[in-house]
Amino acid sequence: MRKQKRIGIGLSALALVACIGSASTAASAQSISDVQRIAKERGLSTADLLAAAKTLTPSGMKDEYIIFSSGGHSGQVFVIGVPSMRLLRSIAVFTPEPWQGWGYGVGNEILEQGYVNDKANLWGDTHHPALSETKGDYDGQWLFINDKINARVAVIDLRDFETKQIIKNPLTVSDHGGTFVTPNTEYVIEGGQYAVPWGAEYAPISDYKEKYKGSITMWKFDRKKGRIDKDRSFAIELPPYWQDIADAGKGVSDGYMFVNSINTELATGGIENKNPPFEAGASMNATDYLHIIDWRKAEKIYQSGKVEIIQGFPVITLETAIAEGLLYLTPEPRSPHGVDVAPKGDFIVVSGKLDPHVTIYSFQKIMDAIANKTFSGKDEFGISVLDFDSVVEAQVEVGLGPLHTQFGPDGYAYTSLFLDSAVARWTLGGSYGKGTPEPDWTLVHKTPVQYNVGHIGVAEGDTVSPDGKYLISFNKWSVDRFFPTGPLLPQNFQLLDISNQGADMPVIYDMPIGVGEPHYAQIIKADKLNPWSVYPEIGWDPQTQAVDPWAPRRKMERVERKDDGTVEIYMTAIRSHFNPEHINIKQGDKVVWRITNIERAVDATHGLAIPQYNINLSLEPGETAKFEFIADVPGVFPFYCSEFCSALHLEMVGYLMVEPTE
């Protein structure tokens, strides 16, 4: 007995390390009257209790859906569970992130891919994540996200939730119409936003119409390699209309894509010279243009070589696009935000922020108008403009400031209303009409949200088979919803239960987001994701997703001094030690440090933090990493494991001894 007790002390300390608090079970008898008493004490209504019952996720219970949310200024992606609305983790993308070691020893090469003109641009403005799709449905394998500020696109592997690639658009400076994927993820679409001359080369703004360009880029995704293949990608030149959100057709409209624009006025601003400011100049016309692009035809044109190489990148010029009949315009309510294709691909919903309607275009009517040349004229760049009345199926008055639309499984559509601070539920017509008790094309209900909603997300609500059930309102302002954290307040993600028909769609949870301002997010059924719990083999390099033959292994730990003055370190990490623990080098040495976490246990992550050298790595079980630095600062530097891994975690330490040379 005695000996068991003593060992118990030792190993119980280990238990502290990864302590998974087992939910405390009730000691005494509980009854519903206890719930009523507490509800009374805390001022909770029956609706509040019901909302709690719908969302409360006790310890160990898993979420049914997973949100991949843009992280806004954080340059990251947030992974959030539904209905619990718990932040599960962030994924570092465009911005260094110390917990993941991103930019401090791991991921440095990928961050460098995002440098612009060799300049470290280390913040990102992530807007629109896009999950990879197969036959128009999320397949849970890849995630793409754009960076609006520098027109970059990143690829994230959903096996390990890590960024694998950042690609900089060579033509445009900023993007907003991305990322969106074609139904089988053939292409990742990135639409440029604020027009600039190609590659942002200088041209005075008085040359706006002639020299400034709009564009949409079709990044070819190589699923096997898990990378965008720049050599098989191309762009299409568009007028400098400030293209906005885009969406790929699906179902009957597969092969097409639809792109909004917000500045068909070609406004160039200049309030300081008494010119109309952009906000007025770009909102002057009653309508802007919805771009209708036959991307399959564009792909053929590109493949046949009818492109111009601009900034080293193949571009189908506006002239070619018009001549080949792959680009058409049609008027849309001015200053639109969302363009969203209905699940079967037959309707395209556009909302003009300054018009209380959603406008629904019929893809069939668009095809007919193109075939019959039902044009109302040409724009000033010579693109044929389809007659508005002949392509519109319906308009539904939903409220003030409609922005984005998502779809349910049953014939309902949902539109965010920025000015009304509400989410509208309305009915689709056509073949969707049977699904709802209300008549076609009518507003059913508006649920107020707090406040100023931007995008909304419905579970799988932009796929060919939306799930409904949950809607999340990604609100820009929270005003009075939370404890005031100084003048900078969090955003508010509000969860709505949309599983019932009609007017029943209450808000059931508020989640503050205090790390950047997210824009769009997609919501995928959790069981479609199949992430690794540990890396498949020891010595795994997440950048290549393969075993690194150079990875340090057990019993092969060593420090090698090369003839050229390079010191190569081969280190392993396991609870609770590094091996080797002494690194003796000389000032000025070039250090190539390789380290493998040789653990196989789930969650047995180790860190490697080196003081004064700005280094910190996160090494998940099996992961190997390599980083290099010049040991220019002499001294004694205790490096340690920066991820609490075990009872003897504090003792997981080593000494880097840099001997001065003079």
Partner 1 sequence: MSQSLIGRIIGPRVSTEDLTQHELRYRAPSFLLLIARVLILVSLFLPYWHMVLVAPQYPDNLQLTAHVNQLSGDVAEIDSLNHYIGMRPLEEAAQFERSVGVYILILLVIMLEFAAWIHSRWAVLLVLPAVFFPAIFLLDLHLWMSHFGQNLDPDAPLSNSIEPFVPPILGTGMVGQFKTIATPGIGLLLSALASVVIIVALFFHRRAYRPLVAANNGE
Q: Which residues bind partner 1 (CB under 8 A)?
A: 2-4, 6-15, 17-20, 22, 60, 574-576, 599-601, 647-648, 651
Report residue 298: phi and psi, to 5°.
-60, -40
Smallest distance from partner 1 to CB 6, Å: 6
Read off the tokens for 456. 């909304």
Binding to Cu ion by residue 608, rule CB under 5 A? Answer: no
Site string for Cu ion, 524-543 (x = CB under 5 A): --------------------
Nearer to partner 1, 2 or 224 (CB): 2
Instruction: Count CB neighbours of 323 within 10 A.
Output: 13
Among 228, 615, 652, 656, binds Cu ion (CB under 5 A): 652
Q: Which does 606 bind (CB under 5 to 8 A by kind): Cu ion, partner 1, none?
A: Cu ion
Binding to Cu ion by residue 259, rule CB under 5 A? Answer: no
Binding to Cu ion by residue 173, rule CB under 5 A? Answer: no
Binding to Cu ion by residue 604, rule CB under 5 A? Answer: no
Helix (H) or strand (E) holding 12: helix 2-17
> Distance between CA atoms of 100 and 90, rounded to whole angstroms?
9
Read off the tokens for 342. 């209905």
Binding to Cu ion by residue 298, rule CB under 5 A? Answer: no
Nearer to Cu ion, 392 or 609 (CB): 609
Q: Which does 645 bind (CB under 5 to 8 A by kind): Cu ion, partner 1, none?
A: Cu ion
Binding to Cu ion by residue 645, rule CB under 5 A? Answer: yes
Alpha helices in 309-360, H assignment, sequence order: 318-323
Nearest alpha carbon to residue 186 among 291, 257, 292: 257
Dihedral over alpha carbons 166, 170, 174, 177 (to 10 degrees)? -80
Smallest distance from Cu ion to CB 579, Å: 12
Q: Which does 4 bind (CB under 5 to 8 A by kind): partner 1, Cu ion, none?
A: partner 1
Nearest alpha carbon to residue 268 among 209, 344, 356, 328: 209
The DSSP letter of residue 148 is T
Q: Enumerate residues 6+ apart whose C-beta is below 8 A from 491.
A: 72, 474, 475, 476, 477, 478, 512, 513, 514, 517, 518
Smallest distance from Cu ion to CB 599, Å: 9
Restricted to residues 447-476, the positions that interact with Cu ion (CB under 5 A) are: none
Q: Which does 12 bind (CB under 5 to 8 A by kind): partner 1, Cu ion, none?
A: partner 1
CA angle 141, 532, 569 (to 5 degrees): 115
Smallest distance from Cu ion to CB 100, Å: 16
Smallest distance from partner 1 to CB 592, Å: 27
Q: Does 611 sit behind a cis peptide bond, omega within 30 degrees of 0 on the bond before it?
A: no
Nearer to partner 1, 398 or 551 (CB): 551
Helix (H) or strand (E) holding 260: strand 256-261
**Which residues, listed in sequence order, are joined to residue 139 by a DSSP beta bridge?**
none
Q: Which stretch binds Cu ion (CB under 5 A): 71-79, 144-152, 481-489, 634-642?
A: 634-642
Smallest distance from partner 1 to CB 531, Å: 16
Nearer to partner 1, 175 or 599 (CB): 599
Q: Tell whether the torsion through CA atoms of 477, 481, 482 and 483 is positive or negative.
A: positive
Smallest distance from partner 1 to CB 18, Å: 4
Instruction: Count CB neighbours of 109 within 10 A.
Output: 10
Smallest distance from partner 1 to CB 158, Å: 22
Binding site for Cu ion (CB under 5 A): 606, 641, 645, 652
